[in-house]
């Protein structure tokens, strides 16, 4: 356990002088310097993103030394919510000071309640775990919690000391006969789900929170009881000579008090449900779209050992409101460095955006979701966030190079990773909506011509079935010299161009295959557009080139062999 040690007068003066110089740094660089609670050094160092990074340490060659050196100059984002946060918070929960009934200890942000005898009472949430605060945008921050988890809290209070009185004929005394935290309850939207008795450090488990569009309110509620005994002794027979009371009348009175204190937190239950589309490209590649209704981390694909990460990364930081504890007694208050530093996991959109591994085998086709303005992180969090409006990676569309049979194997599945620790879900690709992806065939031909114009016909068909592709009502379109065209129900579009045009190229730009069924690949075609005179000259040119090449070959052979074949009319 970390404890605060008394310093001698010289040390206090030195510390005071230093604090006057570096007070801002101390206030913001408050986390513990050494690991505890079974958390090793490598896992401990990156946990404190909300510290100051002004001084870069001289690291050593060991892995722990390298991590410490890096963390001393910047903060370290991670790809997954750290598992050790819950372990650390459980240990910190036990560090909360256990004081006597004459002292109430509370963090600086605690809400205090006052009774007649029970004073400075509070219950304060320390952490809800597992949970993640997601910094979605400049105006939105959501505290997601697992459907089943644990709420850690602390309760404390003091009992007001009553002064007695004493005289020769009458005495009054007071004593505490009972004082306790009778019960602590956890409420979800006002309904009690679990409780615990006789503890100042409650640890309450909950389960089966239902995700919905509205926030859920978790309330920690504690009832504190006390009983005060007042004894009055009145002299009924007094011996004046001896100046003492011979007979006393004794009366005892008991007074009870109960006070209820609460602390609440609005959270959003986080449940990860994924859906998707799967399709097979004509060349055998796999098209895969995976999406959710909430922000998520990405997914692993079982069959290919590949991974796709969305725009989200994580960091952990302490809650600065726990940096100071305040002890209150009947004589006043005293502030001290808090031995309790609960951690919170945070998620934020990072600048690099979605990534996929292995890179040569996976192509990210699209990232879709809500368009958001970038958030800002606390001043002492040295991490890069996106600077321009970004698209939350609620959906990820990818293309995977084929390395096996075209049919999906039963074991081919995706495991989606949530933004809250321990929340993941695995779903077989066989359960995804199947979308056929066909090759398209685009051909250009001349329908008719005049002296001024040439009318072209563009024909777009399914290369597998030969059926027409009607682009109306689909995202796809034809692109000819920057002009978009739509085909009709027969898969035909027409275009009139000037007669002096020499050539035309057209391209079919299909929409996203998962948005239109069936999906198609793109295709292109080109055609030369020429007048009849140019067609005649072109025909002559086509014949003249091979004839000329043949005569040149005869000439070269004649010169090399001396056969005297050239000119061919020599023998006539």
Record the pTM: 0.80
Which alpha helices (DSSP H) does 29-82 contain, by range?
A: 41-44, 63-73
Strand ranges for 198-273 from DSSP E: 203-206, 216-239, 244-269
Using the 3D structure, point to which of 410, 434, 458 is the last residue of a domain. 434
Give the per-residue pLDDT at 26: 36
DSSP letters spanning 99-129: --TT-EEEETTPPPB--SSEEEEEEEEEEEE
Q: Which two tokens stand for residue 152?
A: 């850690």
Q: Is 541 found in the same domain as 409?
A: no
Q: Which residue range forms the structural domain that includes residue 548?
A: 536-571
Give the per-residue pLDDT at 408: 65
Residue 302 lies in a domain: yes
Phi and psi dihedrals of 536, rounded to 5? -65, -45
Give the per-residue pLDDT at 535: 54
Give the per-residue pLDDT at 570: 59
Q: Summarize pLDDT for 66-109 with one digit per residue, the tens.
A: 666 666 667 888 989 999 999 999 999 999 999 899 999 999 99
Residue 554 lies in a domain: yes
Q: Is 446 found in the same domain as 397?
A: no
**Cβ atoms of 350 and 298 closer than 8 Å:** no
Closest-CA residue to 253 (of 226, 225, 231): 231
Q: Is 552 found in the same domain as 507?
A: no
Q: Is 442 found in the same domain as 351?
A: no
Q: Is 540 found in the same domain as 525?
A: no
Measure the CA–CA gap between 120 and 329, rounded to whole angstroms.
9
Half-sphere exposure of 44 (CA within 13 A, CB side): 16
Residue 470 lies in a domain: yes
Q: Is 423 found in the same domain as 388?
A: yes
Residue 381 lies in a domain: yes
Q: Is 471 found in the same domain as 370?
A: no
**Cβ atoms of 43 and 76 closer than 8 Å:** no
Measure the CA–CA gap between 245 and 239, rounded to whole angstroms.
6
> Distance from first CA to last CA of the chain, Å, rounded?
118
Half-sphere exposure of 55 (CA within 13 A, CB side): 6
Q: What is the mean pLDDT of each run of 10 residues along the chain (572 residues)?
A: 36 34 41 88 88 59 60 79 96 94 95 96 98 94 96 97 82 92 97 96 94 90 96 86 84 94 97 94 94 91 86 93 95 94 95 81 89 89 88 91 66 92 94 95 92 92 95 92 93 90 90 93 88 55 74 75 65 54
Q: Is 423 found in the same domain as 282?
A: yes
Give the per-residue pLDDT at 54: 61
Residue 91 lies in a domain: no
**Cβ atoms of 32 and 45 closer than 8 Å:** no
Using the 3D structure, point to which of 392, 416, 434 is the last residue of a domain. 434
DSSP letters spanning 350-416: BTT--EEESGGGEEEEEEES-EEPPP---TT----B-SS-EE--SEEEEEE---S-SSPPTT-EEEE
Measure the CA–CA gap between 20 and 51, rounded to whole angstroms.
19
Residue 284 lies in a domain: yes
CA of 56: how far to CAs of 40, 75, 165, 379, in Å? 21, 12, 63, 18
Q: Is 443 found in the same domain as 562?
A: no
Q: Are strands 298-301 and 306-309 parallel, antiparallel or unpaired?
A: antiparallel
Residue 232 lies in a domain: no
Q: Is 391 found in the same domain as 282?
A: yes
Q: Is 346 found in the same domain as 464?
A: no
**Cβ atoms of 126 and 201 closer than 8 Å:** no
Q: Tell me the Cα Rg of the chain.
A: 40
Q: Is 399 found in the same domain as 283?
A: yes
**Cβ atoms of 291 and 395 closer than 8 Å:** yes
Q: Which residues contact 216 (CB under 8 A, 6 or more apart)?
A: 145, 188, 189, 209, 266, 267, 268, 269
Using the 3D structure, point to which of 434, 466, 486 is the last residue of a domain. 434
CA of 323: how far to CAs of 60, 155, 157, 380, 521, in Å? 30, 17, 19, 15, 59
Domain count of the chain?
A: 3
Residue 401 lies in a domain: yes
Give the per-residue pLDDT at 11: 37
Domain CATH number, residue 496: 2.60.40.10
Count CB-CB contacts under 10 A for residue 460.
Answer: 28
Measure the CA–CA gap between 334 and 336, rounded to whole angstroms.
7
Q: Summarize pLDDT for 15-51 with one digit per residue, the tens.
A: 333 333 333 333 444 678 888 999 998 889 889 988 7
Give the per-residue pLDDT at 163: 82
**Cβ atoms of 73 and 52 closer than 8 Å:** no
């Amino acid at each position: 356990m970390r404890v605060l040690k008394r310093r001698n007068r010289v040390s206090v003066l030195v510390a005071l002088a230093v604090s006057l110089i570096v007070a801002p740094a101390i206030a913001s660089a408050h986390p513990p310097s050494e690991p505890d609670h079974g958390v090793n050094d490598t896992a401990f160092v990156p946990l404190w993103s909300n510290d100051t990074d002004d001084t870069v340490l001289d690291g050593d060659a060991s892995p722990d030394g390298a991590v410490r050196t890096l963390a001393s100059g910047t903060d370290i984002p991670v790809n997954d919510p750290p598992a050790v946060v819950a372990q650390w918070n459980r240990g910190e929960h036990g560090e909360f000071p256990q004081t006597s009934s004459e002292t109430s200890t509370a963090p600086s942000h605690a809400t205090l309640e006052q009774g007649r005898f029970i004073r400075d009472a509070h219950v304060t949430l320390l952490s809800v775990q597992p949970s993640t605060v997601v910094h979605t945008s400049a105006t939105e921050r959501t505290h997601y919690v697992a459907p089943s988890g644990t709420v850690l809290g602390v309760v404390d209070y003091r009992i007001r000391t009553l002064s007695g009185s004493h005289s020769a004929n009458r005495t009054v005394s007071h004593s505490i006969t009972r004082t306790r935290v009778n019960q602590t309850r956890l409420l979800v939207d006002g309904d009690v789900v679990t409780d615990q008795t006789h503890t100042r450090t409650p640890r309450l488990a909950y389960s089966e929170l239902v995700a919905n569009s509205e926030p859920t309110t978790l309330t920690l509620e504690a009832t504190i009881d006390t009983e005060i005994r007042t004894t009055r002794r009145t002299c009924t027979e007094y011996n004046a000579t001896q100046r003492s009371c011979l007979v006393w009348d004794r009366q005892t009175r008991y007074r009870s008090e109960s006070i209820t204190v609460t602390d609440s937190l609005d959270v959003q239950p986080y449940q990860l449900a994924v859906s998707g589309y799967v399709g097979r490209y004509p060349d055998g590649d796999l098209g895969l779209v995976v999406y959710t209704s909430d922000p998520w981390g990405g997914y692993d694909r079982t069959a290919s050992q590949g991974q796709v990460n969305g725009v989200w990364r994580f960091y952990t930081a302490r809650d600065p409101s726990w940096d100071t504890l305040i002890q209150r007694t009947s004589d006043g208050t005293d502030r001290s460095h808090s031995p309790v530093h609960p951690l919170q996991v945070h998620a934020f959109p990072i600048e690099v955006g979605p990534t996929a591994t292995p890179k040569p085998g996976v192509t990210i086709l699209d990232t879709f979701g809500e368009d958001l303005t970038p958030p800002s992180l606390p001043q002492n969090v040295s991490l890069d966030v996106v600077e321009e409006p970004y698209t939350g990676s609620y959906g990820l569309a990818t293309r995977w190079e084929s390395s096996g049979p075209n049919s999906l194997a039963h074991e081919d599945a995706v495991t989606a990773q949530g933004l809250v620790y321990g929340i993941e879900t695995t779903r077989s690709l066989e359960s995804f909506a199947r979308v056929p992806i066909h090759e398209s065939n685009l051909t250009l031909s001349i329908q008719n011509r005049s002296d001024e114009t040439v009318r072209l016909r563009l024909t777009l068909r399914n290369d597998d079935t030969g059926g027409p592709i009607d682009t109306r009502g689909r995202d796809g379109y034809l692109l000819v010299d920057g002009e978009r065209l739509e085909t009709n129900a027969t898969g035909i579009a027409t275009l009139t161009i000037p007669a002096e045009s020499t050539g035309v190229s057209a391209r079919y730009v299909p929409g996203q295959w998962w948005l239109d069924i069936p999906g198609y690949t793109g295709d292109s075609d080109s055609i030369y557009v020429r007048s009849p005179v140019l067609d005649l000259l072109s025909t002559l040119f086509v014949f003249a080139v091979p004839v000329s090449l043949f005569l040149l070959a005869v000439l070269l052979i004649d010169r090399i062999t001396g056969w005297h074949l050239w000119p061919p009319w020599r023998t006539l």
